[in-house]
Chains A and B, each alone.
Chain A
């Protein structure tokens, strides 16, 4: 019953906007949460057609401290389906308002033991996500996009000391950027 209501709401939102986007077709953004782990993520998004946009980005972080150092390099990608193409708060139209997306990310982390400069090893994390977000656009330029996701995570040790591990979890996402 709840699922049916959700689908109905999504269909209403999807039908509320016209067929052609009236806003800008590009967006560049970064993710402020990354700064907390000494990281950065920069991503580019392009409106494709028929409510769809595609996004790709690169990230890095150097999070390990004390007796260890680490470098993580990431590739992020996402396909978004814009439900209404309208930010109801600002009345901006285009890649704005609520969206559903699927995302796939891959990251490689290498860790070093600092006292002896010993290589501890490297690992991959591959992640698939189902995401729901909402983009706010202000001043016809600035975008702010919070999102929540259901993530499936695969951890893989390159040296094979641990078997691959898979689990699901919830994620929070937040981007700040510009549309143009």
Chain B
């Protein structure tokens, strides 16, 4: 089995994550979308590492990404809590102060 199936899964996952980020109206779903995109990248890392002669560097990157994702989730959740505290809402369209 070639690498194409992995890439297809990964692309699908990426697409779903992207849609979740752009379109969902709840920040928690947006965070989930980010996780999906990260994992789509992980799939790609692992698949291409396997495909390029069973090397371990791709898997190492995947593990980094997982760790990074965990840290990012922690920070993001903290931001979300603060946003909620400030705006009494977790809807991203309400949080548009950057415009000013």
A binds B: no
Residues of B within 8 A of A (CB): none
